[in-house]
Amino acid sequence: MKFEELDLNYDVLDALDAMNFSECTPIQEQAIPVALEGRDLLAVAQTGTGKTAAYLLPVISQLSDYEHPDDAVNCVVMAPTRELAQQIDRQMEGFSYFLPISSVAIYGGTDGKEFGRQQRGLKMGADVVIATPGRLLAHLSMGYVDLSKVSYFILDEADRMLDMGFYDDIMQIVRQLPSDRQTLMFSATMPPKIQQLANTILQNPAEIKIAVSRPTDKIDQSAFICYEPQKTEILKHLFKTAHSKRVIVFASSKLKVKELSRELRKAKWKIGEMHSDLEQKERDDVMLDFRAGKIDILVATDIVARGIDIDDISMVVNYDVPHEPEDYVHRIGRTARAGTDGKAVTFVSKEDQWKFGIIEKFLEYEVRKDLVPEALGEVPEYNPNKRFRKQGKKNFSHKYKRGNQYRNRTRKADGTQAENVKSDKTRRFSRNKKRVGGSQNNDNKNK
């Protein structure tokens, strides 16, 4: 279906034409008519299917066609991360280019000047506010934000927001919205907690579910079955034999990202890291340097798995197996974009084999297993049907340390046992006994 077949404002269609957008994606084709009818909507579709346009276009069109307060916030769009909020704001500027509709992006990690700009936008009443939950609540707590006239409330990447612990923040914001608003909720997955949130904030919603598509055939998928300590050396081998530029490496935690980045910098690769501990300016600088080619390899958490468009990624490496099949699709979907070829490699440790087996069942085919270089030693057999427990190391060092301190205090310099040396426990008992006795004597004297 073409956009011109939808009942959108003519100025919106002109903007789409200027941006060379003509054909709707499936989620846009199904969601836009429902949104234009004024119904609440629960839509499930993976990242990269055009969800942003699916909710922005009908809202912009309705803000243009119907009267709304000029000095009030008319629409609130919630996003889980600063990067996604910025990206939505950029698309908002393009879609509303020929219309007098104002928007402001609200997110944390900024300096005082940026905070002041956000503050002015909220006080003046921007038509569309695109915000992360925490930063919007910070502005709300200062008393100058009025959400009582909001007509449209949109949740983008709702599952990510709940995974990041924003449920209570979202509900605090919802309580300040009018009950007769239109609510549009978009999510990449549909776990029970999303259904629970939908039941709470949506009123008789239409439901749209676009099945998660399998990765494109242009992605060459492979996996290395290995032990956890072998992963870094396999990664270095990959950089030497496959790709070492325009690469994203996904790790499961920010601690792993930091450690891996440090190790790869020692090996003289141009590394950038992306995780939640970085300030906004640092994150912006990393992404700009990566896009400009100043950084060859980006090591990141799932903060860049969704909502970030970089078209020329040559290889994606899953240093750790993703938790869900949908996350696997999102991660490797960063490569082979715009009709190009790409490579996706996953390191599967013994403990994560069962998770990778679930991913293969979702894909409905087995991913090719490449051989680990012989120099790195033996590898485990692949058995995705068996679940192995991760082996933790018990730390008894504090006991040994305490024992050594005691032994050192009770021995002479020549190693023989010292005479009349009391243990710490005996000393403490004696001191306490004297103190208690003294206190009792004093009490008796006072009596």
State yes or no: pLDDT of 438 exceeds 60. no
**Does this chain's domain 3-209 share its CATH topology with 219-376?**
yes
CATH class of 219-376: alpha beta
- Sorting pLDDT into bands at 50, 70 and 90, what band is 416? very low
Over residues 265-310, the pLDDT tens digits come to 999 999 999 987 887 788 889 988 999 999 999 999 887 666 566 7
Do 31 and 55 meet the contact criterion of CB atoms below 8 Å apart?
A: yes
- For residue 2, the 8-state DSSP code is B
Interval 20-48 mean pLDDT: 92
Helix axes 10-18, 82-95, angle to 10 degrees: 110
pLDDT at 304 (0 to 100)? 67
pLDDT tens-digit series, residues 170-223: 999 999 999 999 999 999 888 888 999 999 999 999 999 987 778 888 899 999
- The pLDDT value given to residue 389: 72
CB atoms inside a 10 Å sphere around CB 286: 21
- The reported pLDDT for the residue numbered 399 is 36
Pick among 3.20.20.70, 3.40.50.300, 3.30.200.20, 1.10.1740.10: CATH of 3-209: 3.40.50.300
* Nearest one of 355, 352, 347 to 372, comparing CA atoms: 347
Residue scoring higher pLDDT (440 or 18): 18
Query: What residue type is 125 in one-letter code?
Result: G
Predicted pLDDT of residue 338:
67
Q: What element of type H or E holds 131?
A: strand 128-131
Q: Average per-residue pLDDT in the chain?
A: 85
Q: Please give the C-alpha separations between residue 317 and each of 94, 262, 263, 302, in angstroms, as whole numbers.
A: 33, 17, 16, 12
**Is 50 exceeded by the pLDDT of residue 148?**
yes
Average pLDDT over residues 390-409: 42
pLDDT grade, residue 26 (50/70/90)?
very high
pTM of the model: 0.68
CA distance 311 to 334: 8
How many whole angstroms separate alpha carbon 354 and alpha carbon 225?
A: 12
Higher pLDDT, 303 or 415: 303
> Contact 305/330 with Cβ under 8 angstroms?
yes
Give the pLDDT band (50/70/90) at residue 446. Answer: very low
Q: Give the DSSP H or E segment for 161.
A: helix 158-163
Q: Can you state the percent helix, strand and coil of the chain, rounding each to 5?
A: 45, 15, 40
pLDDT for 321 equals 96
The pLDDT score that the predictor gives to residue 277 is 86
Cα 86 to Cα 14, 47, 75, 90, 321: the distances in Å are 23, 16, 16, 6, 28
DSSP class per residue in 259-304 = HHHHHHHHTT--EEEE-TTS-HHHHHHHHHHHHHTS-SEEEE-GGG
For the chain, give every domain's residue range: 3-209, 219-376
Name the residue among 429, 385, 424, 427 with its Cα closest to residue 403.
424
